[in-house]
Amino acid sequence: ALKNIKTTAQIAKDFDIHPAQVSDWKKQMLDSAVECFSAGKRKTSEEAREAEKEQLHAKIGQQAIEIDFLRKKSKQLGL
């Protein structure tokens, strides 16, 4: 089915299974193939969460600085 040598119906008949099962397996394989072959290159989910956490903390810090600046300027302008 993946190489398109046989049709889904032919494979199902050869293995005495329902064609929908072959289609489901093919879809599962195609959906997860990228993950299987790039597992060594991608960060683990824990590393990704930690990186995102650090990025969000940096953003919060930047926003806090901007808020403080704007509060001071608004007081100076009497707003």
SS3 content of the chain, % helix, strand, coil (to 5): 75, 0, 25
pLDDT at 33 over 80: no
Asked if 43 and 51 touch (Cβ cutoff 8 Å), the reply is yes
Provide the whole-model pTM. Answer: 0.43
pLDDT value at position 58? Answer: 95
Distance separating alpha carbons of residues 36 and 33, to the nearest angstrom: 5
Q: Is a pLDDT exceeding 70 seen at residue 75?
A: yes
End-to-end CA distance of the chain: 69
